[in-house]
Each structure stands twice: as C-alpha cells, then as structure tokens.
Amino acid sequence: LALQNISLEISSGKLVAVVGRSGAGKSSLLLSICGELDMLKGSGKVVGSIGYLEQSPWIMNDTLRANIIFGREYDSVYFEKVINACALAEDIQQWPDHDLTVIGDRGINISGGQKARLALARALYSQADIYILEDPVSAVDAHVRRHILDHVILDSGILANKLRIIATNSKHILPYANQIVTLDDGK
C-alpha cells in the first residue's frame, strides 16, 4: 500500500488519532513518520526523538527491567513512575525477583496484555519528544485501559506535554484527540 496525498502539520503537546479500517494505511503512515518507509515523492520532517510502540510487541529473553530500559541508564525514580503509569507494578510485585525476573523463553511467560504494557513502558522510558503508538489499549481489559488512558495517554498522564500520534479505532481515545486523521486506501 502506497500512501498518497497526505499532508500533516502537528505541533508538540497534541494528541492525534489516526483512524481507518484494517489495511487503510495507518501503520504505513506511522512507519513513514518514524523514517522507516521511503518517500517516493514529497518531503517530510520530524523534529525530535521518537518513542515507538508497534502493534505486535516483542520481548527479549532478559529481565523485565532490561526489556524496559533497553540499554539506557537505569533511573529508579523514573522507572517506578513508568511501571506505575503502565499498570505493571502489581504484576511485578507478584514475580519472584520483581523487575529483575527473567521473562521470555528462558524465564516466566507473560500474557499478551503484559507484553503490551511492557512495550508501552519501553517506549515511555525512552523519554522521547514524540510518541507513536499503534493501538496501545487494544490488548488490555477495561480497567487497565482506563488506567493507561489516565496515567499515560491523556492530558492527565505522563505524556501530557508530548506529541502523541496514535493509530486506533478505540472509541475511548477519539473524544480526547486534538486532531483526527482518517485514512482510506492510503489517502
């Protein structure tokens, strides 16, 4: 799918929802903003660092902490803030070695919802200027969704002053969006 005739100007601190049916080009648009897809015509410019949450989160065979900090320096205060915002604190307290518990093939198995929250925590821990999130609340239950909306995504959350571009069809995010971009067949 090639994106065509798309022009976006988005400023910092905004919540932008990218919507459209499956295959409409939402993921392609997000990847192009990240610089992961080549532009055949036109130009684009992104100012600032990007934290990215893909739709299918992955984990390393390592500790939960290593999965979240992802090679960055460990800041215990910010780490705690992130795991609380992503509704991981309660899960971590139940694990044998807490945030130093090994997860993945060589450790404990975690659920799809836990993987999604871990990947979101990894994106948040990057302390980027811009956050590009693919359906961040699709793999979690209603209670956790509300927690993530309030503590991460909406203007009351950890990303309140950051640009947030979210591909979603969630009716829970759309009412709060400053801008809604609707895609249909890459247009």
Closest CA to 166 of 156, 181, 155: 181
pLDDT tens, position by position, 109-142: 899 899 999 999 999 999 999 999 998 988 899 9
pLDDT, position 176:
94
Strand partners, 108: 103
Give the start-to-end residue ranges of the domains of the chain.
15-182
CATH number for the domain running over 15-182 = 3.40.50.300
pLDDT, position 117:
95
What region does 112 belong to: left with phi over 0, alpha with psi -120 to 50, or beta?
alpha
pTM > 0.95: yes or no:
no
Cα distance between residue 91 and residue 41, in whole Å: 47
pLDDT category at 1 given cuts 50, 70, 90 is: low
Average confidence (pLDDT) over 35-53: 81
Residue 17 in tokens: 């929802």
Average confidence (pLDDT) over 74-78: 98
Cα distance between residue 128 and residue 84, in whole Å: 18
Cα distance between residue 36 and residue 22, in whole Å: 20
